[in-house]
Copies of this chain bind each other. A is one copy, B any other.
């Protein structure tokens, strides 16, 4: 978790944000949103929206009213209370890469299908990380597990191998309900779950301007239990979104606000996170340009819009188009990750591991990104200023031409410096061919996996979870 001491950076003026907001309300009112969920349309109609077929036209007052009902911040509870985190305010909670179907190998250079074994390994790396707060998402797709079991196996692995915060499945009502019931086992009963946010789920819109049935089904389950949902657009400029960033943000905003309005009408006060995984397309190739500054800017606009609505926000990540854990992957990931924290996001998914946009997880990149998370966390902690840290007497004592090495003040603070994870500052002896960061990270991830011990889990809870899964 990152606690930002520096103010979030605004990319828009107050007037520009209002222009985007007004354009969004116009879209919602005049164009409407296709809502592929019958019960959802009925709820919206009942509260004054006009419905024509699957299309719902949102009165501006309805949207603005419902936006007020969502909390500005909430606590996400972990089974180990020390790992619970606040989502909102000046904090940034981190979750690893999500949803990639492949795993990358440093030696061979490209991808293979990911398996449940990979899933467990990334869960354990996340458990060991000092920076990652949330596990249980689709760290990698466990391609070797039958689809109807994947969500439960992933949830179980997250609980078994870590005691951090959790994510739930957004793939329809059945899987969402399984996650809620398994959470009830972990947290000692459904009443606890009803009263405490214990997992986050990702509800994605369908761009342009549609809300998908399966996602809404899951959202309705989580709303019923007041479990937080990220409502996010994943639009891509020039294809599923307009080519200009301001317009892409307007369209994205319309989708997200429609989702939030429905969630609040279904269950007022349900924690929602205003989210985005939108990015730009390189129209020369048709490929994602996720490591581009345009993507980082779109994220900055997203975070500011969430602030405008007084809602927690999700976006960014250690994102790159690079196919290898090389310099490009380093600078693009830092651009996107630092940009996201600077922009004030409260929840950063994809904080570690992804290569080749969202296509592949890389063990080495996970370690490198963990380092990036630590660097950025330290940067945004700022500089303490008080008598001890200004050290006027020490400066006067050393005086002109002196040396601080032997000062008490130096000894008192010499451990303040952050210890790097994969830096060449660590362990380089000056002899022989140099290993690059990726090869150093390869050593580190193997050491971490070998040394990691999962926190103990109550055997009764474990037995109940296994029993639950056997019925699926």
Contacts and interface: CB of A to CB of B under 8 A. Distances in A.
Interface in A422-465: 422-425, 428, 433-434, 436-438, 441
Nearest to A292: B418
A247 to B, nearest CB: 4
Contacts of A335: 334, 338, 375-376, 379
Interface string A393-423: 0111011111111010110111011101011
Given A19-B385, A31-B395, A326-B437, 13 more contacts: A26-B392, A32-B400, A55-B400, A109-B433, A109-B434, A210-B401, A243-B410, A244-B416, A247-B409, A283-B417, A292-B375, A321-B424, A331-B331
A245 interface: yes
A43 interface: no
A297 interface: yes
Interface in A346-365: none
Copies of this chain: 2
Interface stretch (A186-194, A221-229, A234-242): A234-242
B297 A382 contact: yes
Nearest to A55: B400
A10 interface: yes
Interface in A1-36: 5-7, 9-12, 16, 19-20, 23, 26-27, 30-34
Nearest to A15: B385
13 contacts: A19-B390, A31-B399, A33-B400, A208-B398, A209-B399, A209-B401, A242-B404, A246-B384, A249-B383, A289-B417, A292-B375, A321-B425, A327-B329
A333 interface: yes
Contact of A417 (B34, B109, B294): B294
